[in-house]
Amino acid sequence: MTEKKVLVTGGAGFIGSTLVRQLLSKGYQVTVCDTLTTGTMANLPRHDALRFLPCDVTDVESIQSVVPGHNYVVHLAARAFIPVSYQFPTSIAETNALGSLNVFKACLDSEIKRIVHVSSSEVYGSAVYVPMDEQHPLNPRSTYAVSKLAADLWAQTMAFEHKLPVVVLRPFNVFGPRDTCPRFITEVIRQCFKAPVIQVGNVEPSRDFTYVEDSARAILLALEREESLGELINIGTERSQKMSEILEMIKKITGAEEKEVVHDGARLRPHDVPMLMSSSAKASRVLGWKPEVDFHEGLQKTIQWYVESGKNWSYEERGWHWRY
């Protein structure tokens, strides 16, 4: 078995495709397992050490067949766009919760050296105190958040019961190039360039945004540091910004300062989380991680990538009409 062979579920997606590039640069042989439901082959680089396998984590036989032969697994496969969970709760639960359980069991059966399970800050609900550490109360406010929390609890329980060598990371909001869903930042960028007016929903919530390369680097560190086994670690910047402020930043960078902003009720969520802001103390202590790209620089990099990529997010090419 090659000593640096890693399977990345959901590797053709937003965070996954950034992580794949970092793994390849570190000399890993990488297998991407993806259904391409939201991910896309265009997100992946061409590299001799990279191979792609179509695989659905909800299919037990499929995931059991692809895990053997690897010594590391990063589990990113998920239905990760919250508005979808309102309409398709069963599908979300099958992928995010039961699909994760299938991955964990396959890792146990194959004696995987280490698995990084990527969760979400949404499991906390809105901040009771800030910055939010790993002991923050859990209060999921969406079907998506409940499905991610179920997977986390299975990971922790299997670590206790069966010594599953898992690290659970909870990234706060992630942004950057190759996003695959119409989230707030991606949609505002699109509309600044293409729409006659900018339509928004609730712009009062505050979020802790981490640039995607920083988030992927945290995953890589968790994969490589043995002392982090069994840990649950938040990944964020300890800063939170209102959506309304981010909207104005994007308008300024894109030269759309004069464009009208219209509030669209169809974009409102049933239960929006008012505030998220991560503590990064444990990530710093256990992983040696801290963010390197500040928010404004990350916005500039994201907008530059969008322009250089022909002003098209992958969801635009697919004709998606989901709204953040």
- Residue by residue, DSSP assigns 19-34 as HHHHHHHTT-EEEEEE
Q: Give the domain ranges of the chain.
A: 5-175+212-235
148: tokens are: 């991610």
**Quick one: average pLDDT of 68-79?**
96
| Amino acid letter, residue 155 | A
Q: How far is CA 198 from CA 30, 177, 241, 315, in A?
A: 40, 21, 19, 18
Q: Does domain 5-175+212-235 have CATH number 3.30.160.160?
A: no
The pLDDT score that the predictor gives to residue 321 is 61
Q: Tell me the C-alpha distance between 236 and 283, whole Å.
A: 9
The pLDDT score that the predictor gives to residue 1 is 42
pLDDT tens, position by position, 238-285: 999 999 999 999 999 999 999 999 998 888 887 788 999 999 999 999
Beta 72-75 vs 114-118: how paired, if at all?
parallel
> Looking at the predicted structure, is the pLDDT value of residue 235 above 90?
yes
The pLDDT score that the predictor gives to residue 322 is 54
Question: Across the strands, what pairs with 235?
Answer: 171
To which residue do tokens 């570190």 refer?
26
| Prior bond of 131 cis (ω within 30°) | yes
Q: What is the pLDDT confidence band of residue 323, given thresholds at 50, 70 and 90?
A: low
